[in-house]
Chains A and B, each alone.
Chain A
Amino acid sequence: MHDARSTMRRPIGLRLWLSGGWVTLLVLGAIFAPLIAPHDPLYQDLFAGRMPPVWVDGADPNFLLGTDSLGRDVLSRILYGARLALTVALVAGVLTCLIGATLGLIAGYYRGWVDMVISRLVDIWMAFPPVLFAILLIAVLGTGLTSIIIAIVVIDWTRFARVVRAEAMTQGTMDYVASAQVAGRTRFGTMLTEILPNVLPTILALLTLEMGIAVIVEAILSFVNLSISTDAPTWGGMIAEGRTSVHQAWWVLVFPLITLFLTVLSFSQLGEGLKDYFDPVLR
């Protein structure tokens, strides 16, 4: 029994290294994009439109991963696109986490009417299709980085609130919480010193997952042309363009898609890995 389990859990280490490696690579690529990108991501050269990647016949060696229909370098656009994707992942992820986790903690620990209000709000939020909600918010707020971040926070705070509320509720019934209160700690103090540290691992794992989700939401918004300005390099925008010309120039779709796929997969694997790592039962 024990043997089978340890063999099944072995790949987790490898998975964590791979996904961590990819995210690191991406962060470096984003930071040093101006140094390593071979071209200006916005520079159009209509005579060099739809050039295939270098290993395909008829390629221009200047464009490693080929060019799109306007002759813009795919690799450079992916690198610059990483800047937006990662900024959104970090800022939107952290803000969503702070707001959602705080509300969840308060609802789960204080219970009573606060809990009722927050839970009812969560219920209402669950009745909206998230993508439609996001698009609606962008339409209201206008396009731009801030709007995207606000939209993600507004849609996804419930993800944290739900999980953290449930965890805080179970923790709140534990004996050590009661004894902390008997020892004269205030309720608010108990929440911060007794409940929060126990819920923190879950929050961190969720945060990592949320970063992947934020990247996807941004890509979806740029896909429907509602992210930031239309010619700015975004993965979703590239995918949208690639989708329309998929039969003529597959590379315009494939490379940003692979990048997005790996990024989302990595964040989610990191999140799962953290969850397992912090889970004392599994460890």
Chain B
Amino acid sequence: MSFLDVENLTLRIVRGPRILRAVSLSVDQGEVRGLVGESGAGKSMIGKAILGTLPRAIEVVSGRIRLDGTDLQTLSARERRRQIGAQVALIPQDPLTALNPVRRVGPQITNRLVDILGWSKDNAQARALELLDEVHIPDPARVMRAYPHELSGGMRQRILIASAFAAEPKLIIADEPTTALDVTVQKQILRLIKNMQAKHNTALLFVTHDLGVVSKICQSLSVLYAGKVIEDTDTRRFFAGPGHAYSQALLHATPKYTDPDDSLTPVPQQVIDAVEAEVAEFDKGLGA
């Protein structure tokens, strides 16, 4: 059994349309799975559903999320949150807004260790310094005392990565962690996440719209369209030739770093029509 198992997860806007349609996916320990889709495909919602941070307007219709074999729905809200806090970490999208502006950086890294996992302050402090060093932050002791606004975006993303790995979580959910960064910084951060993941042998669910990123760090990937998993495969096979017409079209619509002159083709209309028909078929099956 994989560490994370999402089974037939269906979400909808309260009294509104579905936004996830029977999504199943799994991530093993040490595995990096990409979750790809256009914006609005619902890929961030999967991460939010796992973490328990869905907006109030969105409800779980059916499905199961298992963490290390434990069905999260069977836990009380408080216990569920504790479990998530102890085993899962999030690398957020926008490093500029993900650090509390009125608090120093140090406590924001150590607070989970001290408050949730019961570490001593000194141990947590030492661990934070060690992690900041691992993510190549110069002069970690000084950075720990700084306020977020004194640091650059790239620095802050490194801090958030350090903070995510600090508690040795079994699973990390990275929600478009490089989208908000400068292109030059993007590559470094990507490499950093990959290295950290390999070193700590963590399961990593990497949410992105960028197939180029997927090709660099993911072993497997799930392609999402309109809240439905269109394709679930390993990366090598996918880039050799995806099975689904939509995936193929998506791949053709992705710029290649190696060949800047390669002309891009948008996803053709008949492909979109075909996937839409699949989604409609699915909804009809559920009697919606």
Q: Which residues does A use to contact B, with CB under 8 Å?
A: 1, 3
A selection of 4 A-B contacts at a CB cut-off of 8 Å is A1-B56, A1-B57, A3-B14, A3-B15
Residue of A nearest to B15 (CB): A3
Bound Cα distance A3, B56 (Å):
12
Bound Cα distance A1, B59 (Å):
12
Count of chain B residues with a beta carbon within 8 Å of a chain A beta carbon? 4
Bound Cα distance A150, B109 (Å):
62
Contact pattern, B 11-34, Cβ under 8 Å of A = 1, otherwise 0: 000110000000000000000000
Residue of A nearest to B55 (CB): A1
Q: Which residues of B contact A3 (CB under 8 A)?
A: 14-15
Bound Cα distance A76, B14 (Å):
56
Bound Cα distance A3, B57 (Å):
10
Bound Cα distance A3, B15 (Å):
10
Residue of B nearest to A2 (CB): B57
Q: Which residues of A contact B14 (CB under 8 A)?
A: 3
Contact pattern, B 41-68, Cβ under 8 Å of A = 1, otherwise 0: 0000000000000001100000000000
Q: Which residues of B contact A1 (CB under 8 A)?
A: 56-57
Q: Which residues of A contact B56 (CB under 8 A)?
A: 1
**Interface set, chain B 99-151, CB cutoff 8 A to A:** none
Q: Measured between C-beta atoms, what is the minimum distance from B59 to chain A in Å?
A: 13
Residue of A nearest to B14 (CB): A3
Bound Cα distance A1, B57 (Å):
6
Q: Measured between C-beta atoms, what is the minimum distance from B242 to chain A in Å?
A: 37
Bound Cα distance A3, B13 (Å):
12
**Interface set, chain B 163-186, CB cutoff 8 A to A:** none
Q: Measured between C-beta atoms, what is the minimum distance from B55 to chain A in Å?
A: 8
Residue of A nearest to B57 (CB): A1
Q: Which residues of A contact B15 (CB under 8 A)?
A: 3
Bound Cα distance A19, B15 (Å):
35
Bound Cα distance A1, B15 (Å):
11
Contact pattern, B 169-208, Cβ under 8 Å of A = 1, otherwise 0: 0000000000000000000000000000000000000000
Q: Measured between C-beta atoms, what is the minimum distance from B203 to chain A in Å?
A: 33
**Interface set, chain B 49-107, CB cutoff 8 A to A:** 56-57
Q: Measured between C-beta atoms, what is the minimum distance from A169 to chain B in Å?
A: 29
Q: Measured between C-beta atoms, what is the minimum distance from A7 to chain B in Å?
A: 13
Q: Measured between C-beta atoms, what is the minimum distance from B231 to chain A in Å?
A: 33
Bound Cα distance A3, B59 (Å):
15
Bound Cα distance A1, B56 (Å):
8
Q: Measured between C-beta atoms, what is the minimum distance from A198 to chain B in Å?
A: 33
Bound Cα distance A1, B14 (Å):
9
Q: Measured between C-beta atoms, what is the minimum distance from B235 to chain A in Å?
A: 38
Q: Measured between C-beta atoms, what is the minimum distance from B276 to chain A in Å?
A: 26
Q: Measured between C-beta atoms, what is the minimum distance from A8 to chain B in Å?
A: 14
Bound Cα distance A160, B112 (Å):
50
Q: Measured between C-beta atoms, what is the minimum distance from A67 to chain B in Å?
A: 57
